[in-house]
Structure 1
């Protein structure tokens, strides 16, 4: 496929960098009839005729009705996340991209931190986060939970069947983790905060515990084989860790800073695995299609159709 500097379609969408999920997004956008300009994927060959690999950021962004950012936008708060790109593409600053975007263009990303929102505001850019849409967040909980369970399968010396499993938080991911663990025959305890969640856990056949009592509970996780944390706030503190069995594995799937005091866990000899961005690692095709649906929703709401 030839490389060009820019396209001139009325309905052009730019897809900038990212991992395999963004490859799926580019293909999905192409399949519904958009002209797609991609940057940040190195020499990857796209098979669709209406996907054009651009040699520079400006060529991809120019004349685009919408710009799809990498997910995440950056992993070091400086450079665009382009793991599939050339060295030059991986060294591009996200500020370089923001300076090229016109405030009239629709800009879509995912998991966008406050620092990036502030930087975008400085350039007059409004960012839309597709990962915050319910249809994306709910369905994306499945590859996250499956990825966490896969880690447990590899790390534990026992089966989940017949083992005690504790789940911290009963949001989207917590619900899927509890259900999946229970289906595998685990003895599941869910630690949640509000009365309605505690009632639902009992209806579903799980044990229920008040997450606010972790510190006062003399044995907060009993002799659990694994604890899955989904709460993005430090709730498994040093005093809680002191009361835990050193044989218990902690798998933390919450976004930074996570929910476990890592230094205290290391001091206590308790293994913790902070498993971030699991959908892109364990099921990039499924996750890419889920994200694409969220992007389509935003485009349609803003009146951008092929």
Structure 2
């Protein structure tokens, strides 16, 4: 249980709703900021309308959206008609023991936590979150491919670029559906693992040798790998699903000019399976808070 721990939620999407429910069930003291439109769904929470520094003065944990803040401190708040901006005054008011929880962190948030000596937890960098999160990501990417092609996954020629957590899960799912899967990676160990999985491995530097036969390409590499030269080599019927973080790894301007369907689709778990994605976040956060709970009472 998390009795006695005060958790302040600041904005977010449907994934955060599951985290709020989890915290209430575990008896945490919950404050909601930026949930004006749905706050009535929750019983026994503190609804904060005006976001002042005092709102954070007694918070043990501040939970931000998965995307954190932008470079101006703006928070994504899907359930509030008003924008939320975290400023220096807000961070300065947080207790030194306060934990800031986010999915990813841009420079603005990292700098603020460093300046005010606040612990920053980036959940999407934790394997236990990222690996499980790759499941709805892969399912969502395949769903998009099905929607935007006129062929089946079974029997198709697919290319997966990158062999990280999402690349591994996606390659396995495509193969299970009967696709002929080629996977591009850089590390020799990854290329060996791809072969062990009975998939066709190639170095990303050799992409030009394989791209001409692709029916669909799934990119997970956050660098411009599908540039104009590569796009000019692929069939116009090929569909590109780019799940790398913004701005992705595709020249979308040239893809449109050439008539190739290319879709940038980051944050798929929050779109296709927000309940599952939220539960993954909630369970991991609960474990981390229980681990830290005993030390909070002794911190200044």
Residue 118 (1) aligns with residue 108 (2): no
Structure 1 residue 118 displacement after superposition: 1.7
Aligned to 1:147: 140
Cα distance change, pair 301–127 in 1 and its aligned pair in 2 (3 A): same
Aligned to 1:195: 188
Cα distance change, pair 286–304 in 1 and its aligned pair in 2 (3 A): farther
Residue 38 (1) aligns with residue 32 (2): yes
Aligned to 1:18: 12
Deviations 1:156-187 (A, max 9, x none): 11111111011001111011111111111111
1:263-278 mapped onto 2 (5 Å cutoff) = 263-278=253-268
Of the candidates 60, 64, 67, which is equivalent to residue 62 of structure 2? 67
Residue 247 (1) aligns with residue 237 (2): yes
Aligned to 2:178: 185
Distance 1:201 1:124 in 2: 42
Q: What TM-score, normalized to structure 1?
A: 0.88
Structure 1 residue 261 displacement after superposition: 2.0
Deviations 1:246-290 (A, max 9, x none): 111110000123111223323333221000111111100000011
Structure 1 residue 305 displacement after superposition: 9.5
Identify unmatched segments of 5+ residues in structure 1: 1-8
Matched length: 292
Aligned to 2:78: 83
Distance 2:92 2:295 in 1: 26
Distance 1:245 1:233 in 2: 22
Runs of 4 or more, structure 1, over 6 Å off, are none
Residue 94 (1) aligns with residue 89 (2): no
Secondary structure of 1:165's counterpart equals: strand
Aligned to 1:54: 48
Structure 1 residue 209 displacement after superposition: 1.0
Distance 1:13 1:304 in 2: 16
Distance 2:251 2:36 in 1: 38
Identify unmatched segments of 5+ residues in structure 2: none
Q: What TM-score, normalized to structure 2?
A: 0.90
Structure 1 residue 46 displacement after superposition: 5.1
Aligned to 1:5: none
Of the candidates 149, 152, 169, which is equivalent to residue 156 of structure 1? 149
Deviations 1:164-219 (A, max 9, x none): 011001111011111111111111111111122112212212111111222xx3x4
Of the candidates 211, 220, 230, which is equivalent to residue 210 of structure 2? 220
